[in-house]
């Protein structure tokens, strides 16, 4: 089943075209990686899917609904959650609070009802905390819930962002460069945890530069360069695709 369908999406900033007529589909329950050299438009694509940017043209369908132009609040409520390339945690809050805030948005009890208290509300609060703790355990941060988020190591902060996004109970999780700044051991742990997340039935989309990791975990790959989609396929096909090789070699030659 197709969960997300991106059709002919273009995003322009002033005169610059960051994404140019890109189309692809993300199948439910699978891991899709979006790769390409720097400046290819991958993060912009994430921002379009998550509702942070409105596409200049083209359409987005999520779960068989037209969601073109829906903002990030609406996308989150529809079940699309994300992490950020440049980590954006609630720094001064505790690790637990970061995740609880995420979990609250998927809780059945609206925040204002807490003003009046009552049994249902207390039960919901307990449920929210339990869910948040599960998410923290899932990313391996279960025992540091009480510390301030900005005291975590860089790798832990990335995992916390994932836990926070997961707490919203998304159906599609967009993860932007999860392995950036991680050491090998942390990257291995990341792969294991991403698999656990996928096994819960959550569709994953990631932007990632670490090719070992991508080839290890991705089931479908979309390759972008200069805002255009240049290839799509299974990891093995992508590795042998001459356009992809040229795009990457070109980048290395320039660097």
Show contacts with other proteins in window 43-62 (CB under 8 A).
Answer: 43, 47, 50, 52-53
Query: Is 82 or 229 the residue whose CB approaches other proteins more closely?
Result: 82
- Please report whether residue 162 would count as binding other proteins according to CB under 8 A: no
- Is 107 or 213 the residue whose CB approaches other proteins more closely? 107
Q: Does 150 bind other proteins (CB under 8 A)?
A: yes
Q: For 68, list phi and psi in degrees, rounded to 5.
A: -60, 125
Whole-number Å distance between alpha carbons of 91 and 98? 8
| 197 lies in the binding site for other proteins (CB under 8 A) | no
Instruction: Answer yes or no whether residue 12 interacts with other proteins by CB under 8 A.
Output: no
Q: Work out whether 134 is an interface residue with other proteins (CB under 8 A).
A: no
Q: Is 73 in the site for other proteins (CB under 8 A)?
A: yes
CA distance 32 to 85: 17
How far is Cα of residue 175 from the mean position of the Cα atoms in its chain?
Answer: 3
Specify the residue for token string 């329950």: 29
CB of 56 to other proteins, least distance (A): 12
112 scored as a contact of other proteins (CB under 8 A): yes
Cα distance between residue 175 and residue 165, in whole Å? 9
* Cα 120 to Cα 57, 112, 132, 178, 212, distances in angstroms: 45, 13, 18, 37, 48
Choose between 81 and 156: whose C-beta lies nearer to other proteins.
81
């Amino acid at each position: 089943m197709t969960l997300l369908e991106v059709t002919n999406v273009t995003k322009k900033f002033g005169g610059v075209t960051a994404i140019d007529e890109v189309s692809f589909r993300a199948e439910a329950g699978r891991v899709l990686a979006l790769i390409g050299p720097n400046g290819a438009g991958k993060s912009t694509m994430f921002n379009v899917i998550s509702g942070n940017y409105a596409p200049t043209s083209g359409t987005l369908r999520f779960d068989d609904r037209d969601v073109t132009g829906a903002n990030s609040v609406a996308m989150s409520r529809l079940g699309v959650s994300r992490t950020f390339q440049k980590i954006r945690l609630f720094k001064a809050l505790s690790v637990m609070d970061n995740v609880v805030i995420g979990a609250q948005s998927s809780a059945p009890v609206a925040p204002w009802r807490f003003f009046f208290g009552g049994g249902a509300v207390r039960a919901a609060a307990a449920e929210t905390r339990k869910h948040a703790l599960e998410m923290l355990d899932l990313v391996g941060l279960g025992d540091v819930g009480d510390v301030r988020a900005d005291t975590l190591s860089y790798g832990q902060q990335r995992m916390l962002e994932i836990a926070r996004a997961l707490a919203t109970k998304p159906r599609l999780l967009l993860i932007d460069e999860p392995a950036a700044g991680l050491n090998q051991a942390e990257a291995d742990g990341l792969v294991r945890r991403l698999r656990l997340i996928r096994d819960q039935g959550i569709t994953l989309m990631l932007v990632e530069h670490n090719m070992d990791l991508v080839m290890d975990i991705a089931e479908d790959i979309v390759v972008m360069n200069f805002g255009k989609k240049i290839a799509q396929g299974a990891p093995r096909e992508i590795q042998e695709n001459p356009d992809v090789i040229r795009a990457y070699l070109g980048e290395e030659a320039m660097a």
